Structure 1
Amino acid sequence: MSSVASSPLLKLHPEDNIAIARNSVAENQECPLSETESVTAREDIDLGHKVAIQQIAKGEPIRKFGQVIGFATSDMQPGDWIHSHNLEAGELSLDYAYSSDVPAPPEPVEGRTFMGYRRPNGKAGTRNYLAIISTVNCSATASKYIARELAKTSLEDYPNIDGIIPLVHKGGCAMQYDGEDHHQLMRTLGGFAKHPNIGAYVVLGLGCETGQGSFLSDSEGLVQLQNLKAPKPLEPLVLNIQDIGGIAKTVKKVTALLQDYLPIVNDVKREPIPVSELILGTECGGSDGNSGVTANPALGIASDLLVAHGATSILGETSEIYGGEHLLTRRAITPEVGKKLIERIKWWEEYTGKFGVVIDNNPSPGNKRGGLTTIYEKSLGAIAKGGSTALREVYRFAEPVTEKGFVIMDTPGYDPASVTGMVAGGANVVAFTTGRGSCFGCKPVPSIKISTNTPMYERMEDDMDLDAGRILNGTSVEEVGREIFELVIDVASGKKTKSELQGIGDEEFCPWSIGPVL
């Protein structure tokens, strides 16, 4: 192995004036960057952190991935550690160049299938759950009690049911009736109710809340038969605790009702379904300085492969696109699609500004310990999950995703809320990259955990499904990307993820509330 290949520092782009530590670097350690270039660390540098590889004057831009990630707040010498003490975000001047560099469609691949559930309405499921959907926090406890009672039923008699989940949350009332927040919650709850991974459900409300179950059913067109082969509709679809007569009576009534559902929900079997019907939600959480070097680009390769097979890949977390949006607008299939993204970016600037918040409050403390310094750096690494194909559409939070190919959904950077939106939109598999070690599950959809570095993978192997940190030691991004693609198909076909094996995912349902609490 050459000295460059074994160097603890990695220069990512010819225009970069920094390098990334792919292993810990000791003070005074000489690190080759090329056959003719090296740098000596002036202090200890942790995994994932940045090192100056040339003189940088105060005010000059710092470049990573060939893009500006911020500006120096002091003079730097080669070998200096670069982080929050000497780098700030500053303001960027971005050229959106709408649709100026739209990639040619990938060579189509046909014939590949996964083993999924074909629902009567034509949609493809990857899991089969029974759900209690709570309209409001006031019915959350009853929903959990019902799930607890049903759990006493032996699901061994129903081997095709993956579980029973109470979809509970903290909102549902004290919001503007028929307002934007109300409709966003209804889209979210309706998206889960109609999700092909939900075999059957009941909607449970208190009875006096703003987010009425009847409003949900009417506005979202809820029909139980869409996911079941039942001889007749299972009624009632919407129940209220106040109408039934309290918590105890509600738990008894709804538990009995759902026990009758069990044999019907179980009456399914997996069958070959084209890979083109997969919708992948991509997420990064607990990111580090290597997220944009290993796991995210590898997931981008998997995204491209899915698009080539006619499937859909969703990039979320608009607040973690910020600063890298100009790279996506160039790929927009039309200028109108690119402008949809910028409209959401501007909405975020206005939204955060109302509360005196700047978007560069993100990265989090954990992200910073892992080497990320500014939101621009984090965003440039995060958007790598979206691969290299054309951007075909931009969706609002929890909107049904109907376009094939690479799309964006406007979600916050907070992982549970972001994934909730993508699942409500139809994602039937989630791929989640992490550098610090996020242990995320999201019933009713399987969540594949991909580590960005090997030390964390080895430390948290019970939670991580795949180690992309091998890229730092010479495995190609393409090879790991193909592994992720194959793993997505295996998981869609029923292979349990690490989070599923541990039963994680009951608490991660998190509708995003954007309005005031009244």
Structure 2
Amino acid sequence: MLAEPQTTPRATGDAPRTIRLQETDNVAIVANAFGLPAGTVFPDGLTLGEFVPQGHKVALADIGTGEAVRRYGEVIGYATADIPRGGWVEESRVRTPAAPRLDELELATRVPAPLPPLEGYTFEGYRNPDGSVGTRNILAISTSVQCVAGTLEVAIRRIKQELLPRFPQVDDVVGLTHAYGCGVAINAPQAVIPIRTLQSLAQNPNFGGEVMVVGLGCEKLVSERLLPDGQSGGVVRLQDERHQGFGMMLDSIMAMAEARLAVLNRRRRETCPASDLVVGLQCGGSDAFSGVTANPALGFAADLLVRCGGTVMFSEVTEVRDAIHLLTPRAETEEVARALIREMAWYDDYLAKGDADRSANPSPGNKKGGLNNIVEKALGSVAKSGTSAIRGVLAPGERVHRKGLIFAATPASDFVCGTLQLASGITLQVFSTGRGTPYGLAEAPVIKVATRTELAERWSDLIDLDAGRVASGQATIEETGWELFHLILDVASGRRKPWSDHWGLFNDLTLFNPAPVT
């Protein structure tokens, strides 16, 4: 866990403030909304030589050409030209360092001791026959091919209008639609990723085990492959000869849905230990405050969940790769550390085959928020993982079978990451953002945490928790982490509704398909 950020003293009004994270850092970020002009003088005598936007870095000492730029106590780059004390450490003035070598990493050398267990924390969830527990009671209808997505959309509109009101214990009906299933190299080695993802998605605990698939009939991905082992009778195939026209296709979908709604309607929330929670952590629209306020608070809450015996997933390979040297020593075993390296190496190769590199991340918005490069972004991103030992690693789309802190390998794309975390079994997600995004999931509640108070106030009907108070000194990381932990329990229990659920702001599922499209 990061130490509390060191801020310059706060006087009356919006006095000029910077945030420095470690004593060894030779840069700090400007905390004031809208930045500070040239000539601004700080209490320690530091004087800005030029305008510096909020979240962007200012040199605390002269940094010569080729010298290291340090933030988080780590080298985030090398100066491409002399940067004087008080100068703006702008993106073009910093050269990105090489990524840590995967063959030189420490493996399980600094495994954190278990934190004291937390007992007595519960939530109201939906227990499933397989022992898993959902936070929602949803009928999910899978598709085996994109061709049927439009038909399913029409069917779901009718199901919500004609059937759902008769089953008040069911929260929603969602379609697990996608662009896969045909016109693809179904037997290519990497096709395992989208197929495994679809198989796992249907078994998310929020869906109560009532798997249902709508297929076409001529697709490469045979509908039955999406049913759990040993299950049959859960497929509506539109090309079946019994279907005389579109109306009969809809009737078949609705009849199968009605039978499953009746089963789901018998589910009731019951008191479950917090150890039954499976929570995903993600960040999007990140800025320089992400690793100062929101992500450390997420990390503290993650530690609390792990102490309760729960499961917490963090992801986004490209936003972990440059901080991997901080994670492999925390792996519970050498086997777990090697699995982390396996996923990093796989993604290095994947990017190389696409003639891409680490410079493709961060986004223009991330850079406007003060992040110079992927190294700085990764160091802030991994703060979400807290301080617990890493107990397991999941390849994309694999279901989780262990409790504790888990790394679930995904791309950094919000939509792909969310889809893969759902496939891995999360029943609730916490999403931190600095620039702001209306991202949400229909399949699991999403709690939005703002890195800056200015964003939380401007987007007051989209942000669920303001972590920007850490930067202003109004709250500590620990206090914000506890607040988030209790919010997670309330949202998981249905006592609180996050803003994305309130507005019905839900993004489409997006499969990760590194295999060829034919």
The TM-score range, normalised by the shorter chain, is over 0.9
Q: Does 1:447 align with 2:446?
A: yes
1:221 corresponding residue in structure 2: 229
Residue 102 of structure 1 is aligned with which of 111, 124, 132? Answer: 111
Relative distance call for 1:247 and 1:17 in structure 2 (3 A) is farther
Residue 78 of structure 1 is aligned with which of 85, 91, 94? Answer: 85
- Asked whether the 8 Å contact 1:193–1:222 carries over to 2, the reply is no
Q: Does 1:163 align with 2:172?
A: yes
Q: Does 1:112 align with 2:121?
A: yes
1:516 corresponding residue in structure 2: 516
Residue 339 of structure 1 aligns to a residue in which SS?
A: helix
Please provide the CA RMSD for this pair: 1.7
Shift of 1:44: 1.7
Q: Deviations over 1:77-132 (max 9, x none)?
A: 01111122211213145552111111100111222211001112211010011122
Residue 238 of structure 1 is aligned with which of 235, 247, 272? Answer: 235
Shift of 1:180: 3.5
1:504 corresponding residue in structure 2: 505
Residues 91-490 of structure 1 aligned to structure 2 (within 5 Å): 91-93=98-100, 96-153=105-162, 155-199=164-208, 200-217=210-227, 220-221=228-229, 223=231, 236-243=233-240, 245=243, 247-474=246-473, 475-490=475-490
1:30 corresponding residue in structure 2: 41
Residue 314 of structure 1 aligns to a residue in which SS?
A: strand
Quote the Cα distance in structure 1 between the aligned partners of 2:211 and 2:311: 26
Quote the Cα distance in structure 1 between the aligned partners of 2:284 and 2:234: 36
Q: Deviations over 1:431-472 (max 9, x none)?
A: 000001111111211110000001111111111110001111
Residue 170 of structure 2 aligns to a residue in which SS?
A: coil
- Asked whether the 8 Å contact 1:194–1:222 carries over to 2, the reply is no
TM-score scaled by length of structure 2: 0.93
Residue 30 of structure 1 aligns to a residue in which SS?
A: coil
Q: How many residues align?
A: 499
Q: Which one is further off, 5-14 or 173-182? A: 173-182
Quote the Cα distance in structure 2 between the aligned partners of 1:211 and 1:367: 38
Residue 281 of structure 2 aligns to a residue in which SS?
A: strand
Relative distance call for 1:213 and 1:9 in structure 2 (3 A) is same
Shift of 1:154: 6.1
TM-score scaled by length of structure 1: 0.93
Quote the Cα distance in structure 1 between the aligned partners of 2:45 and 2:179: 54
Q: Deviations over 1:333-372 (max 9, x none)?
A: 1122111111211111111111110122100011111111
Quote the Cα distance in structure 2 between the aligned partners of 1:157 and 1:209: 34
Quote the Cα distance in structure 2 between the aligned partners of 1:383 and 1:422: 16
Opposite residue 497 of structure 2, the aligned amino acid is: K
2:51 corresponding residue in structure 1: 44
Residue 9 of structure 2 is aligned with which of 4, 16, 25? Answer: 4
1:232 corresponding residue in structure 2: none
Residue 419 of structure 1 aligns to a residue in which SS?
A: helix
2:4 corresponding residue in structure 1: none
Quote the Cα distance in structure 2 between the aligned partners of 1:222 and 1:450: 41
Opposite residue 479 of structure 1, the aligned amino acid is: E
- Asked whether the 8 Å contact 2:296–2:477 carries over to 1, the reply is yes
Quote the Cα distance in structure 1 between the aligned partners of 2:25 and 2:430: 29
1:227 corresponding residue in structure 2: none
Identity of matched residues, %? 38
Relative distance call for 1:420 and 1:5 in structure 2 (3 A) is same
Shift of 1:222: 6.4
Residue 57 of structure 1 is aligned with which of 49, 58, 64? Answer: 64
Opposite residue 488 of structure 1, the aligned amino acid is: I
Q: Deviations over 1:364-396 (max 9, x none)?
A: 011111111110100000000000010111110
- Asked whether the 8 Å contact 1:394–1:409 carries over to 2, the reply is yes
Q: Deviations over 1:473-494 (max 9, x none)?
A: 1110110011111111111101
Quote the Cα distance in structure 1 between the aligned partners of 2:156 and 2:448: 27
Opposite residue 483 of structure 2, the aligned amino acid is: E
Shift of 1:205: 1.3
Q: Deviations over 1:271-322 (max 9, x none)?
A: 1001001111000001011000000000000000000000111110011102
2:491 corresponding residue in structure 1: 491
Q: Deviations over 1:171-207 (max 9, x none)?
A: 2222223334432222222222111211334201111
Quote the Cα distance in structure 2 between the aligned partners of 1:170 and 1:282: 25
- Asked whether the 8 Å contact 1:302–1:482 carries over to 2, the reply is yes
Residue 382 of structure 2 aligns to a residue in which SS?
A: helix
Shift of 1:3: 5.8
Residue 63 of structure 1 aligns to a residue in which SS?
A: strand
Opposite residue 72 of structure 1, the aligned amino acid is: A
Q: Which one is further off, 259-268 or 474-483? A: 259-268
Structure 1 residue ranges without an equivalent (≥5):
224-234
Quote the Cα distance in structure 2 between the aligned partners of 1:317 and 1:369: 21
Quote the Cα distance in structure 1 between the aligned partners of 2:8 and 2:85: 19
Quote the Cα distance in structure 2 between the aligned partners of 1:510 and 1:43: 43
Shift of 1:69: 1.1
- Asked whether the 8 Å contact 2:8–2:18 carries over to 1, the reply is no
Opposite residue 357 of structure 2, the aligned amino acid is: V
Q: Which one is further off, 130-139 or 184-193? A: 184-193
- Asked whether the 8 Å contact 2:202–2:226 carries over to 1, the reply is no
Shift of 1:38: 3.9
1:230 corresponding residue in structure 2: none
Shift of 1:26: 2.0
